[in-house]
């Protein structure tokens, strides 16, 4: 046996983060992680947003330790346990009002599996097959969720996926698919009200949704569901304008199409509100949650309005739906996020963080836009030497990769995403301190300066 092969060389080339960032992490607490050489980093990846309370929050550790000490059964599938009951109680106490009398289904435990469940439910109840999704969307890596993704490169090698999925442009405030650009606004965007151009884009996008859902001429039969992220994450941190959310909600309601809000990444305080969909008035029929609600352990659920409860027992199953450790960690996390007011704190800190990022990079033409909601923030980097036809320079993925590497040198772990992977993404734990965010800002400034051509 070739026992000399190091463990990392046994990993498939599909792995991503470890390939890009050459660190071996051995310790974590709060927003900090430490590598095997003793160097510390601020973790702005935070388990891709799963670690709302950071690493080893005392409330989460205690909840996990309690399960171990009491010898509670670790996995019971759908058999009730007090831990499971408590998780459901904690979650329903804080759900958006429109879903508080709804039903919960434990999934996966991945976000992708929960999106699959949501789509299956909508198709089952409506008897329709069509689905509406958005450019730039990310809902997971299964073949069903890839059909919904807005990123062509992720699905093209796979041949036909789910049929009957229609994509509409997402009303972004920068690089708008509708052409209206916030001209010469290199540091703009990200504000709650959005730009005038963003408003126009949202109006056009809304009309397109109405057309797709309600107009015989569109050739699109009313779909079973429209699936949307209230803030697109992997797609490059694009908040959905409230004006567009209102149109999407009313048009789907009129068409008898269920609205699925994918809050896998935005849920539980990340965007400065407990639920990003509630903040923009989306009022979904089905809410998809994962990441933060498991306190860093694998957990994913859908919550749907009670009237949708029209499917058979076993219609969606999976071995690991609702592990006791994850339910305990999740219940502790929900309680702590609410107790400590971490959503409101994310709003305050996020606004300041975005302002500081704009300031540290002021005048640098490589900053396309700083945007986000709460502590879900992205900086789109561009190549100022290559203006595209509409006046917005081309997104610069190699610059973002260089900034990412340099930030690691300066002690900060960040993610990249969006078109051409040109958006540097910040998803720190909601417990991140102001001092740590200041260090992230200065690391970003230093990284930008050090990759100056």
* Cα 453 from chain centroid (whole Å): 32
Q: Give dist(CA 431, CA 282) in Å, integer.
A: 27
Query: What track of x and - describes contact with ligand PMP for positions 241 through 280 (by CB under 6 A)?
Result: ---------------------x-xx---------------
Q: Give dist(CA 1, CA 265) in Å, integer.
A: 42
The answer to whether 230 contacts ligand PMP (rule: CB under 6 A) is: no
Rule CB under 6 A: which of 366-395 touch ligand PMP?
none
The answer to whether 87 contacts ligand PMP (rule: CB under 6 A) is: no
Tokens 């008897």 sit on residue? 127
Residue 237 has which token pair? 């941190």
Q: Give dist(CA 242, CA 108) in Å, integer.
A: 30
Q: What residues contact residue 438 under an 8 Å CB cut-off, 6+ apart?
A: 356
Using the contact rule CB under 6 A, the part of the chain among 119-127, 132-140, 309-317, 385-393 near ligand PMP is: 132-140
Indicate which single residue of 229, 278, 383, 396 sits in contact with ligand PMP (rule: CB under 6 A): 229
Rg of the Cα trace of the chain?
22
Please give the size of the binding site for ligand PMP, defined by CB under 6 A: 15
Cβ–Cβ < 8 Å for 277, 244: no
Cβ–Cβ < 8 Å for 274, 268: yes
Indicate which single residue of 90, 234, 278, 380 sits in contact with ligand PMP (rule: CB under 6 A): 234
The answer to whether 112 contacts ligand PMP (rule: CB under 6 A) is: yes
Indicate which single residue of 30, 130, 206, 233 sits in contact with ligand PMP (rule: CB under 6 A): 233
Q: Give dist(CA 211, CA 252) in Å, integer.
A: 11
Tokens 């504000």 sit on residue? 191
Q: Which is nearer to ligand PMP, 279 or 441 (CB)?
A: 279
Q: What residues contact residue 261 under an 8 Å CB cut-off, 6+ apart?
A: 228, 229, 230, 277, 282, 284, 286, 287, 288
Q: What residues contact residue 319 under an 8 Å CB cut-off, 6+ apart?
A: 77
The answer to whether 295 contacts ligand PMP (rule: CB under 6 A) is: no
The answer to whether 111 contacts ligand PMP (rule: CB under 6 A) is: yes
Task: State the residue number with the nearest CB to ligand PMP.
Answer: 111
Least distance to ligand PMP from the beta carbon of 264, Å?
4
Q: Which is nearer to ligand PMP, 146 or 381 (CB)?
A: 146
Rule CB under 6 A: which of 48-77 touch ligand PMP?
48
Q: Which is nearer to ligand PMP, 140 or 198 (CB)?
A: 140
CA torsion, ordered 285, 286, 291, 293, to nearest 10 deg: 70
Q: Which is nearer to ligand PMP, 264 or 375 (CB)?
A: 264
Indicate which single residue of 30, 135, 140, 269 sits in contact with ligand PMP (rule: CB under 6 A): 140
Using the contact rule CB under 6 A, the part of the chain among 164-172, 227-235, 329-337, 420-428 near ligand PMP is: 227-235
Indicate which single residue of 134, 138, 170, 444 sits in contact with ligand PMP (rule: CB under 6 A): 138
Q: Which of 181, 216, 220 is nearest to 198 (CA)?
A: 181
Rule CB under 6 A: which of 91-110 touch ligand PMP?
110
Least distance to ligand PMP from the beta carbon of 108, Å?
7
The answer to whether 139 contacts ligand PMP (rule: CB under 6 A) is: yes
The answer to whether 134 contacts ligand PMP (rule: CB under 6 A) is: no
Q: Give dist(CA 426, CA 415) in Å, integer.
A: 7
Q: Give dist(CA 283, CA 171) in Å, integer.
A: 19
Q: Enumerate binding residues for ligand PMP (CB under 6 A).
A: 48, 110-112, 115, 138-140, 229, 233-234, 262, 264-265, 290
């Amino acid at each position: 046996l070739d026992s000399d092969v190091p463990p990392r060389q046994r990993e498939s080339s599909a792995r991503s983060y470890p390939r890009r960032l050459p660190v071996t992490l051995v310790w974590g607490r709060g927003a900090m992680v430490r590598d095997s050489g003793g160097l510390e980093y601020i973790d702005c990846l935070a388990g891709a947003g799963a670690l709302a309370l950071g690493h080893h929050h005392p409330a989460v550790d205690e909840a996990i330790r309690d399960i171990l000490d009491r010898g509670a059964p670790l996995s019971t599938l759908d058999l009730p346990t007090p831990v499971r009951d408590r998780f459901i109680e904690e979650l329903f106490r804080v759900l958006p009002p429109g879903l508080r009398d709804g039903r919960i289904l434990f999934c996966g435990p991945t976000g992708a599996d929960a999106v699959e469940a949501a789509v299956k439910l909508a198709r089952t109840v409506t008897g329709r097959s069509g689905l509406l999704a958005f450019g730039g969307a990310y809902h997971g890596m299964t073949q069903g969720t890839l059909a919904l993704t807005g990123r062509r490169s992720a699905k093209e090698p796979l041949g036909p996926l789910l049929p009957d999925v229609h994509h509409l442009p997402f009303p972004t405030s920068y690089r708008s698919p509708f052409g209206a650009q916030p001209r010469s606004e290199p540091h703009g965007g990200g504000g709650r009200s959005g730009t005038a151009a963003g408003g126009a884009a949202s109006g056009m996008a809304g009309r397109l949704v109405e057309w797709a859902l309600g107009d015989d001429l569109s050739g699109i039969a009313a779909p079973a569901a429209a699936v949307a992220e209230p803030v697109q994450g992997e797609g490059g941190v694009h908040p959905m304008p409230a004006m567009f959310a209102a149109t999407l909600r009313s048009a789907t309601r009129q068409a008898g199409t269920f609205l699925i809000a994918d809050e896998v990444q935005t849920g539980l305080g990340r965007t400065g509100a407990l639920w990003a969909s509630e903040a923009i008035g989306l009022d979904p029929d089905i809410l998809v949650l994962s990441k933060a609600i498991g306190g860093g352990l694998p957990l994913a659920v859908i919550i749907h309005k009670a009237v949708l409860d029209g499917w058979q027992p076993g219609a969606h199953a999976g071995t690991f739906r609702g592990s006791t450790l994850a339910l305990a960690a999740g219940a502790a996390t929900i309680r702590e996020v609410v107790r400590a007011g971490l959503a409101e704190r994310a709003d305050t800190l996020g606004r300041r963080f975005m302002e500081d990022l704009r300031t540290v990079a002021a005048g640098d033409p490589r900053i396309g836009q700083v945007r986000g909601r709460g502590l879900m923030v992205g900086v789109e980097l561009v190549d100022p030497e290559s203006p595209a036809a509409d006046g917005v320079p081309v997104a610069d993925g190699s610059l973002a990769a260089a900034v990412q590497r340099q930030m690691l040198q300066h002690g900060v772990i960040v993610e990249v995403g969006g078109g051409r992977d040109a958006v540097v993404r910040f998803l720190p734990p909601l417990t991140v301190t102001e001092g740590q965010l200041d260090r992230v800002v200065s690391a970003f400034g230093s990284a930008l300066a050090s990759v100056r051509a």
